[in-house]
Amino acid sequence: MSEKLAARVRAWIDDDPCSESRAELEALLAAQDWAELSERFAGPLAFGTAGLRGVIGAGETRMNRAVVIRTSYGLGKALLARDPGYAERGVAIGFDGRRGSLEFSADTAGVLLALGIRVYLSEGTCPTPLLAYAVTKLEAAAGVMVTASHNPPEYNGYKVYAPNGAQIVPPWDGEIAAQIADAPGAKDIARADLQEAVTAGRLTYLGAQMDQDYLGAIGELNRIEAADPEGTQREGLKVVYTPMHGVGRDLIVKAFAQAGFKGLSVVPEQAEPDGEFPTVRFPNPEEPGAMDLSLAQAEREGANLIVANDPDADRLACIVRAADGTFRPLTGNQIGVLLGTYLLERESLLGLDAPADADKRMVAASIVSSPQLGAAAEAMGVYYEETLTGFKWIANQALAAEAERGVNFVFGYEEALGYTVGSVVRDKDGVSAAVILCELVAFLANRGQNLLDRLEELARRTGVYLSGQRSTVFPGQEGAQTMAAIMEQIRTSPPSEVAGQAVTAFTDIQAGERRPTGGEPEPIRLPKSNVLVFDFAGGDRIIARPSGTEPKIKFYFDVCEPVAEGEAVSAAEARASERMGRLQESFSALAAPQS
């Protein structure tokens, strides 16, 4: 085995144009570290509907220049095969502040230019929503964002956008993957000189003008003048913001100033892009400890609100100061329901004319997000769509609904802190979502309320919705096999009851059907995916799925508990929490790996 593996490694070294990567593999060969080399050559880093994402390092299963060069070649070939006219429409490319992002974006540009494709390249680091906006603004044929979003520091990624400005969905991924498989070795793929391409008019750098266009577009989304007509809340609202060592700061500062919010304070230790993420173990606002610096600053400054982006600024987190002075973090579901219901009710709340297409409005959420927005939308007579996990599905479903049914897409979200308002950005946008959230805060403050009061009001209308998640990491090849075995175990032997609650329906999205207990299977509309759903009476739900970007399996739990008239919401929350605990313990035991 070691001889065959060594031969594969040496063949890769011969084809790798990066001296650092070659040296890295040579050192592993010299040390005869066959276990590590086996991991690095377990098969190509798969290109899927999330593009690429993996640990930075040398080898075919890692993120490195050789992999990016071959991927960019495959992307270019797939574009030209679809439509030779895409060469002139070009590809927009952006990159964040992670290790390798600058080099990966330059390699991507060089390969595409050598294939005859025009390129629009970000002049410096940029947020993901800005790149996604640029694709539609430029009417480009595609977009590439080099980022691993909120993954740990050792990761990087390569996200691809289709001509419609949304992330690719099938069959795009398959077409690109096929071209990558047929690509020559990385050292044999031509890369154009970027400066020569600028001189020839084939490469344009995206700078301040694109920022201004984006800010103007998201500025049209807010109704802050009506939400805070006297401007007192905009003047007095104190907000602490952290970009989490990412690239969101400049746009957030400008967007808040544009909307009239003057009390924004940036966490200085996390203000600059830094791919090492020195103050956090895991650059995700949801992770324990990630918001400690923000909380300390908010206490010192007497802030009302803390908002955070993840490193590429496509997600938004929020912590609210409660009436008793303590800080309460909001979940992704709570923020999504707050934003979605506010946008649907905004005209009536602010005394504005109802939109002409009020009966054609649509909101959407991923299937693993709380069902609460759907319940609220149904009560308002608004279209509601559930999609597979991943914002690519939300954006593409919104575009399809607009084209097929003439609906007006208002808002979409997923529980992992991802939100989009309207169609300015056809992906998650943590910048515009932050501005709209602060607009809601200003409106509520003028009524003597805060976001927690609004959540209680919504709970009385829809019932208390409590969501929870459990996940287990399974790294490496063995971990992938364990996850597959767990999913197959649940799929082939689904429980009929969990914690004493009878399952009313079992949905296997991979099989494309929903099976009501005691009834005949029903086809479902969702694209096939390795997701299993258990429904219970009263709106409770459990979902099982492997992560698409990390080596972990995830279980999602949703509980719905009505609030009786005159009852404290906290009492209903306590009942929901107790039932949630039972469901989590029971299902986690049922789904444990079999020895």
Say how far residue 191 (Cα) sits from the centre of its chain: 31
Distance CA 306, CA 554 (A): 28
* Separation in Å, CA 313 to CA 274, 383, 427: 14, 28, 11
Cβ density class 554-586: b for 16+ within 10 Å, e for less: bbbbbbbbbbeeeeebeebbeebeebbeebbeb
Strand pairing partners for 366?
387
Residue 262, helix vs strand vs coil: coil
Confirm whether 588 is a catalytic residue: no
Residues 483 and 474: beta-carbon distance below 8 Å: yes
Q: Which amino acid is at 299?
A: E
Cβ density class 146-166: b for 16+ within 10 Å, e for less: bbbbbbebebbbbbbbbbebb
Q: Are strands 532-536 and 501-508 parallel, antiparallel or unpaired?
A: antiparallel
Distance CA 323, CA 78 (A): 56
Phi, then psi, of 395 in degrees rounded to 5 = -65, -45
Burial (CB count <10 Å: 0-12, 13-18, 19+), residue 195: exposed
Q: Is the dihedral of CA 529, 535, 541, 544 positive or negative?
A: negative
Which helix (H) or strand (E) segment is 25 a member of? helix 19-30
Q: Which two tokens stand for residue 158?
A: 């390569």
Number of helices followed by number of strands (H, E) in the chain = 21, 23
Q: Which two tokens stand for residue 13?
A: 């070294």
Say how far residue 563 (Cα) sits from the centre of its chain: 32
Can you state the angle between helices 332-350 and 430-446, rounded to 10 degrees?
60
Phi, then psi, of 370 in degrees rounded to 5 = -60, 140
Give me the catalytic one of 105, 149, 294, 369.
149
Q: Which amino acid is at 232?
A: T
Concatenating the DSSP letter of every residue in 98-121 gives STTHHHHHHHHHHHHHHTT--EEE
- Backbone dihedral region for residue 110 (phi beyond 0: left; psi -120 to 50: alpha; all else: beta): alpha
The closest alpha carbon to 42, from 579, 551, 514, belongs to 551
Q: Are strands 203-206 and 155-161 parallel, antiparallel or unpaired?
A: unpaired
Q: Is the dihedral of CA 363, 368, 373, 376 positive or negative?
A: positive
Active site residues: 149
